[in-house]
Amino acid sequence: MKSKHFFIGLSMVAIVSCNSQTEETKAEPTTEAKPPQEKEYLSQPLVSHIYTADPSAHVFNNRIYIYPSHDTATGTKEDDLGGHFDMRDYHVLSMDSIGGPVTDHGVALDIKNVPWAGRQMWAPDAAFANGKYYLYFPVKNKQDVFQIGVAVSDKPEGPFTAEKEPIKNSYSIDPCVFKDDDGQFYMYFGGIWGGQLQRWNHNKYDSAAKNRTKEEMAALPRIAKLNADMNSFSEPVKEVKLVDKEGRNFGEKDNDKRFFEAAWVFKYKGKYYFTYSTGDTHFLCYATGDNPYGPFTYQGVILNPVEGWTNHHSIIEMNGKWYLFYHDTQLSGKTHLRNVKVTELKFNEDGSIETLTAQK
């Protein structure tokens, strides 16, 4: 595990295109931000004119596009189910290179333009197929149950037009859309507690279901293969098996290793890497497997806990280097007003990932 803390020269990343900023977004951090702290951070916020979290990064047309949540000050009291995370739209950020100027392209999708949506637009993801760009997003329907929607655009930055209905048989939160080497797309999703995954057993919803107890097996993330239309599942939703190095399932008591939320999948040297957040213990972890369905064997920690209650990430490769996008609360000090960051990710010869620590 690395213990040295350092900056990676990203201070200039906070340069943002002013053309797409509204007066409202310019004002957000100035009313909420706290004074500078005497701390060393591994990296600095990508933007500071709005609060952003849960960054899903992709390389499209040789440019990095980031699809984050857009945090706002809701005034709602904090709770374990995330009621105070009441996000209402998405902005898309982009940059030519790590450390370069960042452009905010403005509102890409607003909740008022999603016909079936009720409240809480949480962490999105994106994909390119069929000559189109697809934005995948979780939002509670009008019955207050999370489902996953799709919106489409001709441009990676949007604006996106939402489909009239959510993906059939989708549920919970945190969609991650992974394209395998053969061109097949898979969606990974799920999050416990406020993400409602604990209410779904055998793909049936039980509104009375409670969080797993310490004596029970931990809830598992989900996977489904996408049809070519990118707007439907081609198979029933399946559980993704996540095990320790002895092949044993994690119990809820193993909350420093078990899945909580924030699935992100990529491939490195022929291996599938399933990465995720442990939620209430605040680690970003990874597990590896030999096919997209798993099983995935736990390997270790990618990023130690950051400031703020949550963490949520993505991992991309560009120009031979790998990068981890994540968030913390450096700008505000408030758990629901977060800021997106990026740092280089390094692999050892055996394929293991060097553990990072974000601040001291």
Q: What is the CATH number of the domain that holds 298?
A: 2.115.10.20
CA proximity to 147, closest of 127, 117, 182, 109: 117
Which pLDDT band holds residue 294 (cuts at 50, 70, 90)?
A: very high
- pLDDT tens for 302-338 read 999 999 999 999 999 999 999 999 999 999 999 999 9
Rounded mean pLDDT, 24-38: 47
**Residue 327 resides in a domain:** yes
Task: Kindly list the catalytic residues.
Answer: 54, 261
The pLDDT assigned to 105 comes to 98
Lowest mean pLDDT among 30-44, 170-184, 288-302, 318-332: 30-44
Q: Do 52 and 69 contact (CB within 8 A), yes or no? A: yes
**Residue 211 resides in a domain:** yes
Higher-pLDDT residue of 117, 5: 117
The residue count of the chain comes to 360
**Residue 359 resides in a domain:** no
Q: Does the pLDDT value for residue 33 go beyond 60?
A: no
Range of the domain at 292: 11-345
**Residue 351 resides in a domain:** no
The pLDDT assigned to 225 comes to 98
The pLDDT assigned to 34 comes to 52
Rounded mean pLDDT, 211-221: 97
The pLDDT assigned to 30 comes to 42
**Residue 315 resides in a domain:** yes
How much is the mean pLDDT over the chain?
91
Higher-pLDDT residue of 193, 27: 193
- Residue 99's region, left for phi above 0, alpha for psi from -120 to 50, else beta, is left
DSSP string for 108-159? EEEGGG-TTEEEEE---EEEEETTEEEEEEEEEETTS-EEEEEEEESSTT--
Which pLDDT band holds residue 23 (cuts at 50, 70, 90)?
A: very low
Characterize the bridge pairing of strands 89-95 and 103-110: antiparallel
**Residue 353 resides in a domain:** no
Percent of the chain with pLDDT over 70: 89
Q: Does the pLDDT value for residue 29 go beyond 60?
A: no
CA proximity to 256, closest of 230, 239, 279: 279
**CA–CA separation, 221 vs 200, rounded Å?**
11
Rounded mean pLDDT, 172-181: 98
Which pLDDT band holds residue 111 (cuts at 50, 70, 90)?
A: very high
**Residue 302 resides in a domain:** yes
Q: Does the pLDDT value for residue 98 go beyond 80?
A: yes
- pLDDT tens for 39-49 read 899 999 999 99
Peptide bond into 159 cis (omega under 30): yes
**For the chain, what is the domain count?**
1
**Residue 3 resides in a domain:** no
The pLDDT assigned to 37 comes to 56
Rounded mean pLDDT, 73-83: 74
- pLDDT tens for 231-265 read 999 999 999 999 999 999 999 999 999 999 999 99
Rounded mean pLDDT, 279-306: 98
Question: What's the DSSP call for residue 19?
Answer: G
Q: Does the pLDDT value for residue 26 go beyond 70?
A: no
Rounded to 5°, angle at Cα 278 from 220 and 259: 10
- pLDDT tens for 80-97 read 777 778 899 999 999 999
Q: Does the pLDDT value for residue 55 go beyond 90?
A: yes
